[in-house]
Amino acid sequence: MSRFEPATVNLEFDKRVGDALQDQELRANFRGAMDFLMGKRAAMFPDKEGLEALRTQGEAIRNRCLSQLPELLEQFEQRCTENGIQVHWAETAQEANAIILEIMHKHDATRMVKGKSMASEEIGLNHFLADHGVECLETDMGEYIVQLADETPSHIIMPAIHKNKQQIARLFNQKIDGVEYSENVDRLIGIGRDVLRQKFFEADVGLSGVNFAVAETGTLCLVENEGNGRMTTTVPPVHIALCGIEKVVESLRDIPPLLKLLTRSATGQAITTYFNMISSPRKPDEKDGPKEVHVVLLDNGRSRMYADKQLQQTLRCIRCGACMNHCPVYTRIGGHAYGTTYPGPIGQVVSPQIWGLHTAGSITKACSLNGACGEACPVKIPLADLIRRLRYESNNSEPTSVPAPRGQGALRKRSEAVTWKLWALLLHKPGLYALALFIATRLRALAPRRIGPWTRYRSAPKPAARSLHELAAQRSQSNASSQEHGRHE
C-alpha cells in the first residue's frame, strides 16, 4: 500500500488538486458514487422532523460522553481488565505501533490480518510492521483493493470508491495469479474472498478498529458488512483492537441511536449485516474466539482537541462519511487530492489537528463554506465553523489561553499580514481612506496585471476612474444645478 507521507500534505496539495481536476474518469466515478450514496441516505430518512430529533439525540449522547471522557476511560479500562482484555495506552502513533509490534513479538507472530481500521491508517501501521518483517493483509474488500493497487483509501467508509469495475477487473487480472479479466461484480467479489479466506486461518494476529467502546461493560463494538471483521476478531488466536480514546460511550443504552445514525448516514442501510460485540477472550466453555484480546487506546492529538471547547466538537464524529458524500469539493477532487488519511470535511478538521497546521493546514482551503457537511452530519458537528477556525489559526500568531493547534500561524505570510494591517488602518482613518481612494482612481493605469492565484483564472481587478463617493457627489451636484436652472425658467 502506498505510504502516507504527512510531510507532503501542504507541499503537494495544490498539485494533487490540479491533477484530480484533470482526471475525467475519477471525477465521473466520484460524481456517480456520491449521488448514489446521497440518494440512499435520503431514502432512509423520509421524515425530516424525525431525522432532526435523532440527530439532536445523537449530539446529546456524544456531548455527554465527551464531558465525562476521563472518568469513562478509567471505567472502560477497569471493566476490560475484569473481563480479561489487556488494555494499553498510546499517547502517539509511534507508541501505538511499538505496542502492537511488542504483542506480535511476544507470540512470534509474522502474519496479521486486518479488519477495516482508519486508526491503523492514521498511525501508518502497515508500513511500520512491514519494516519489521510482518506481513499485514487488509481483509475489507475495499481496503484489499487499494492495498493491491498500492494506493491509500480515498473514503473512510468505502476505501476503493474511486475505482470502477473495469479498473478493478484490470487490477485483479494483473496482480492475482491465474485470474482472468472479468467485469462481473459477483465474480470479482468471489475472487477476493477466495484469496482472503485462507489468510484468516494462516494469520497469527487479527487487528480491528472499534466503532464504539462501552465503559459500562468493557465491550468493543464493531460495525461491518462483509464478515471480515468477525473473521479477523475470532479466527486468529490473538485479537488487537485499535481504538481512538474518543470512541468511548457510557453505556449500552447509548448504542442504538448512534448505530441507527451511523449505518443510515454511511451507506443508507437500516442496519449493517454484522454488528460484533466483543467483551472478553474465548472462555473455557466456548468453541471459538481468540485466546487473547488487547485494546490499544490511541490519543495521538485527541487530548489537545479535547482541551479546546470549540475544537472538542471534532471528537463527536462517528466516522460515517456523510460529510464527504455531501461535499461539492470532495465530489470533484476525490479523497487522494487531500493527501491525508482522513479526506473531505471531517479530514479538513481532524488532519490539521493530528499532524499540525504546519503539515496539513493547507487542506482547509478545499472548502466553499457552503455548510452542506454540517447539515448532513448525524451528530451536528459544525464542520464549516471548525474549518474556518483552523484557517484562522493557520494565520494567527497571537497566543491563546488554551493549547493552540500544533503549527499555529505556520501559513501566515508577512506580505499578506502587512496588507491586511494597512487595510485596517485605512478603514479606521476616513481622511486617509479618501486620500488612498483618490490616488488609486487617478493611478488606475498602474494597477498590477498579475495578483497571485487570483489572476490564474480571472482577470485582474482595476480601480474605476472615479470612486462611488465622487460619482454620487457629482450626480447630486448635477441634480441641484438642474433644479436651480428649472426655477429660473
pLDDT per residue as tens, the chain (489 positions): 566 777 788 889 999 999 999 999 999 999 999 999 999 999 999 999 999 999 999 999 999 999 999 999 999 999 999 999 999 999 999 999 999 999 999 999 999 999 989 999 999 999 999 999 999 999 999 999 999 999 999 999 999 999 999 999 999 999 998 899 999 999 999 999 999 988 999 999 999 999 999 999 999 999 999 999 999 999 999 999 999 999 999 999 999 999 999 999 999 999 999 999 999 999 998 988 999 999 999 999 999 999 999 999 999 999 999 999 999 999 999 999 999 999 999 999 999 999 999 999 999 999 999 999 999 999 999 999 999 999 999 998 887 767 888 999 999 988 888 998 999 999 999 999 999 999 999 999 999 888 887 888 888 888 999 999 899 999 999 888 888 777 766
- Beta strands 219-224 and 274-278 are antiparallel
- Partners of 138 in the beta sheet? 114
Contact 354, 301 (CB under 8 A): yes
Which pLDDT score, from 0 to 100, does residue 217 have? 97
CA diameter of the chain: 114
Which pLDDT score, from 0 to 100, does residue 311 have? 96
Enumerate residues 6+ apart whose C-beta is below 8 A from 378. Answer: 54, 55, 58, 261, 262, 264, 265, 318, 320, 322
Which pLDDT score, from 0 to 100, does residue 485 have? 75
* pTM (2 d.p.): 0.88
Q: Where in the chain is the domain with CATH 3.40.50.10420?
A: 46-305
Which pLDDT score, from 0 to 100, does residue 401 have? 66
Tell me how far apart the alpha carbons of residues 152 and 17 are, in angstroms, rounded to a whole number: 16
Which pLDDT score, from 0 to 100, does residue 304 have? 95
Beta strands in 27-174 (DSSP E): 86-90, 111-114, 135-138
Q: What is 46-305's CATH number, 3.40.47.10, 3.50.50.60, 3.40.190.10, 3.40.50.10420?
A: 3.40.50.10420
Which pLDDT score, from 0 to 100, does residue 233 have? 96
Which pLDDT score, from 0 to 100, does residue 116 have? 86
